[in-house]
Structure 1
Amino acid sequence: MATDKVSLKLLVNKSNRTVLFAEAGKDFVDFLFHILALPVGTVIQLLTKSGMVGSLGNLYGSVEKLNDVYIESSKKEILLKPKAPSCVSEIPLILPETSSDSTPKTYYRCSNSSYSTCSNYVAEDRSTKCPRCNNSMNETFTLVKPLDGNPTAAAASAAESNSKGGFVHGVVTYMVMDDLEVKPMSTISSFTLLTQFNVKEIGHLEEKVVSLGMDEGIKLLRTSFHSKKVLTDVFLDDE
């Protein structure tokens, strides 16, 4: 499931209750860029079909309803539970996991015992023909991944991944706008933005530290599809 929450600092205009920008670290920016790497099928899983804007939820539901007469089960799994790029596994996920690579996967091999070399071939689809004897490869067997026998090494690897992995460098503080535009943080850019937003009284501004966990991550993902003031809608609308 989700990892620890991610913190970020919002600069809020109290006069109209909007977020001017957020001061964020690598973890939050990695989360935002991680959204871009999610396959469409995974996004629909996270938001649920009813929560999707437009018709993609209906398309996803159509695939779910088709049985093996109309679509191969292995192909159906690819559409309904697509895998994100491997680099995404380096990121501390705020969103809930939709699939697990540790789940044993089913493979098939030829059931013909007449030729010993038939067992050399493996297929992901039980309707595949054996290249040796042309028999259906419908004998089920399961590939099971070994358990990690060194939890200390795994924890160390995860810690190193959190500091060096992901998409952006960790030595920079980032500015995330209300519409999710991301740029490096600087004092000059902050003053420029205050002028751009026509902020004349510093007293109208306040800092607000918020946490982004699984619930907020799902809300941010959903809101980003239809709003230009995502941070305001996610963190201030409930106040």
Structure 2
Amino acid sequence: MASSNTKLRLFVDTKAGKVLFAEADKDFIDFLIYLLSLPIATAVRILKDKNMHLAGVGSLGHLYESLEKLPNSFLQPNQDKSSLLNPRAPVYATGIPLTLFDYDFEARKSYRCSSYYCDYMAEVPNLTCSNCNSRVDREMSYVPPSPANFPVAVEGGFLKGLATYIVMDNLEFMPMSTKMFVSLLKKSDVKDLDALDEIEVDLGVEEGLKLLKLSLESKSILTSFYFGDRSGLSDVKSMDSYPGHGPTD
């Protein structure tokens, strides 16, 4: 499991007790896209393994446990419980900070039709090809889209590293500009500018797990993250100590 950290700058209305929005770089947005790419069963399993029970959507945890306890004899012969409980991530990228679980992409296999003239494939071996009725049993290994597999230099993650982003309380994000930054401050209706604080947060895997959990429970994720458990933010620093970090055009 990756242990690299990333940072997030929160703009907090301390009197109202809410996070208005945040400023983030590519690393944090890559992490959000990574969360979006996780199969729901994988997300539930990650939280279950960490004893982080879901509130509000706890039925997903119960659903996972029900399938886990169900005898294999109840499944169709072409279904595999392990695959249902541990589905493959549909996308993959290297260099994602706060990766929440280890996935062995080298073990990812698919199977091609045994007929030389047929290119049908399947995720499950030994099926009958729907095109030519041959067996689908030729094992194919998965090649992840890592930077090493491209002829030109490619960074890790999903996004290019040049932009800075605004992240809303509900995790909606967009490229940042000075005009947008000022507009968001005006729309936030902060009545006392002295109550507006800028806080830089260091995020590790533990905080990443909290964000995953909150993304399944809340519509005010950043507010719930910051105000809901201040003990999890032991390395918070006032932005007064970070000169030259203002918004960019």
Same fold, judged at TM 0.5 (above): yes
55, 62, 67: which one aligns with 1:58? 62
Q: Deviations over 1:14-33 (max 9, x none)?
A: 22232111110011011111
Distance 2:79 2:94 in 1: 26
Distance 2:186 2:12 in 1: 15
Counterpart in the other structure of 1:96: 100
Distance 1:36 1:144 in 2: 25
Q: Verify the 8 A CA contact 2:34 2:96 in the aligned structure 1.
A: no
Counterpart in the other structure of 1:228: 219
Q: CA offset at residue 9 of structure 1? A: 1.0
Distance 1:102 1:40 in 2: 22
Change (3 A) 1:45 1:230: same
Counterpart in the other structure of 1:140: none
Distance 1:59 1:201 in 2: 46
Opposite residue 228 of structure 2, the aligned amino acid is D
Opposite residue 89 of structure 2, the aligned amino acid is A
Distance 2:208 2:153 in 1: 18
Counterpart in the other structure of 1:7: 7
Stretch moving more, 210-219 or 58-67: 58-67
Counterpart in the other structure of 2:81: 76
Question: How much identity, in percent, do the aligned residues show?
Answer: 38
Distance 1:162 1:41 in 2: 34
Q: CA offset at residue 200 of structure 1? A: 4.2
Distance 1:73 1:64 in 2: 17
Counterpart in the other structure of 2:21: 21
Distance 2:171 2:103 in 1: 27
- 1:180 equivalent to 2:180? Answer no
Change (3 A) 1:61 1:200: closer
Query: Runs of 4+ in structure 1 displaced over 4 angstroms?
Result: 102-105, 123-126
Q: CA offset at residue 170 of structure 1? A: 1.4
State the TM-score, normalized to the length of structure 2: 0.67
State the TM-score, normalized to the length of structure 1: 0.69
**Which structure 2 residue ranges, 5 or more long, are not aligned?**
112-122, 129-136, 231-249
User: Radius of gyration: which is bigger?
Assistant: 1
Q: Deviations over 1:187-209 (max 9, x none)?
A: 11111111111124432222111
Counterpart in the other structure of 2:203: 212
Change (3 A) 1:99 1:64: farther
3-state SS, counterpart of residue 206 of structure 2 = helix
Q: CA offset at residue 43 of structure 1? A: 1.0
Distance 1:4 1:98 in 2: 14
Q: CA offset at residue 162 of structure 1? A: 11
Q: Which structure's residues are more often helix, by fraction?
A: 1
Counterpart in the other structure of 2:241: none
3-state SS, counterpart of residue 44 of structure 2 = helix
3-state SS, counterpart of residue 72 of structure 2 = coil
Count of aligned pairs between the two proteins: 200
Alpha-carbon RMSD across the aligned residues, in angstroms, is 3.5
In the TM superposition, 1:106-185 aligns within 5 A as: 157=148, 164-185=155-176
3-state SS, counterpart of residue 166 of structure 2 = strand
Counterpart in the other structure of 1:192: 183
Change (3 A) 1:64 1:168: same
Counterpart in the other structure of 2:43: 43
Change (3 A) 1:20 1:184: same
Change (3 A) 1:45 1:93: farther
3-state SS, counterpart of residue 190 of structure 1 = helix
Stretch moving more, 17-26 or 63-72: 63-72
